Amino acid sequence: MKTVIARRLIALIPMLLGITFMATMLMHLAPGDFLDQVRMQRDADPEYIERLEREFGLDNPWYVQYFLWLKNVVPWDLRSDFGYSFHYKVDVWELLGQRLPATILLSVTSLAFAWVIAIPLGVLAAIYKDSIFDRISSILAYAALSIPEFFLALLALFFAARTGLFPLGGFTSTEFEFMSPVRRFFDVAHHLILPTIVVGIGSIASIMRIMRANFIDNIRSEYVTTARAKGVPEGIVMFRHVFRNAINPLITAAGFAFSSIVSGALMVEIVMNYPGIGHMIFHAILQQDQFVVLGALVMSSTMLILGNLLADIALAWNDPRIRYD
């Protein structure tokens, strides 16, 4: 198991190199750079611009810039330097440190929300197959799968504005700094409810459909007949036998769901003004703040790949028959 994890982590490296290399190339295909905005200002001192260019190596061709960036990022002395944000005027590493936890928090709560809703629904739909409940839940699943996240986010904001039950976006209240730790916790939770529901809903549908299909497959299998024949109560057959077998593919599916959640969170972060890395990369792209874009890409891809890896580990833990070697 350990070697598998190590191998997967090592495989991450060429992947990230490829992604960042591609991204640097693309960003230099874009017309102009951040300094264009500085140059536009009439009173800008040419010497000042020259100094900026030299500092960030912007006078070099893009591949040289890429290797300069890479040299700084790789933690030779146990410290990564992801460059400097032209726009926010802070270290990218510091910026990521502020934004990444918010996105991870939102992704984890959304995934948990989706699972908590989808698994019981999927199980019930499978047990009461072809009933009215099954029909309705499958229609709702289609609906949840088809609604764009940003539209759902808008509806959520509309709801919040009409009822006043929830804050209109953001991560914390303005008076957050003056709150006690307990109130801080509830403040963040209060802000998190709507984004969590909005991001989670899209995944409910796919998880539910997979759960239902697996559960039905397993109900039909012979071990269920055996268990029933020897007089095991129906509830135990369903939950101890069928459930544990049916949930396996779902754990792998959680890895995929994570990918759509990270992507979906991007739109929700922008619409609901939630300060995560999706919100950050959007503004960084508008400002051509290239180090921020690269940093956000590295982080979001790493999150995705680690999410898949965690799903594989969880699968091996749940099902001892699975061996990776």
Binding interface with another protein (CB under 8 A): 15, 18-19, 22-23, 26-27, 29-31, 142-143, 145-148, 150-151, 154-155, 157-158, 161-162, 168, 206, 209-210, 213, 253, 256, 259, 262-264, 266-267, 270-271, 278, 281-282, 285-286, 288, 293, 296-297, 300-301, 304-305
Cβ-contact 114, 250 below 8 angstroms: no
The nearer residue to another protein, 6 or 22, going by C-beta atoms, is 22
The burial of 4, by beta-carbon neighbours within 10 Å (0-12 exposed, 13-18 middle, 19 or more buried), is given as: middle
Rounded distance, CA 314 to CA 253, Å? 12
The nearer residue to another protein, 68 or 145, going by C-beta atoms, is 145
The nearer residue to another protein, 221 or 225, going by C-beta atoms, is 221
Rounded distance, CA 125 to CA 207, Å? 12
Cβ 256 to another protein, closest distance in Å? 8
The nearer residue to another protein, 23 or 227, going by C-beta atoms, is 23
The nearer residue to another protein, 238 or 289, going by C-beta atoms, is 289
Rounded distance, CA 144 to CA 121, Å? 14
Rounded distance, CA 54 to CA 124, Å? 64
Cβ 58 to another protein, closest distance in Å? 17
Cβ 14 to another protein, closest distance in Å? 9
Cβ 150 to another protein, closest distance in Å? 5
The nearer residue to another protein, 179 or 249, going by C-beta atoms, is 249
The owner of tokens 């410290």 is 79
Rounded distance, CA 51 to CA 62, Å? 18
Cβ 158 to another protein, closest distance in Å? 5
**In this structure, which amino acid lies at residue 139?**
I
Cβ-contact 98, 183 below 8 angstroms: no
Backbone angles phi, psi at 91, to 5 degrees: -60, 140
Rounded distance, CA 36 to CA 188, Å? 39
C-alpha separations of 314 from 249, 250, 311, 325 in Å: 11, 11, 5, 16
- Joined together, the tokens standing for residue 84 give 């400097």
Rounded distance, CA 311 to CA 320, Å? 14
Cβ 39 to another protein, closest distance in Å? 17
Cβ 235 to another protein, closest distance in Å? 27
The nearer residue to another protein, 196 or 203, going by C-beta atoms, is 203
Sign (positive or negative) of CA dihedral 316, 317, 321, 325: positive
The nearer residue to another protein, 47 or 130, going by C-beta atoms, is 130
The nearer residue to another protein, 109 or 276, going by C-beta atoms, is 276
In sequence order, what are the beta bridge partners of 91?
84
Cβ 82 to another protein, closest distance in Å? 16
Q: Count CB neighbours of 262 within 10 A.
A: 23
Cβ 293 to another protein, closest distance in Å? 6
End-to-end CA distance of the chain: 8
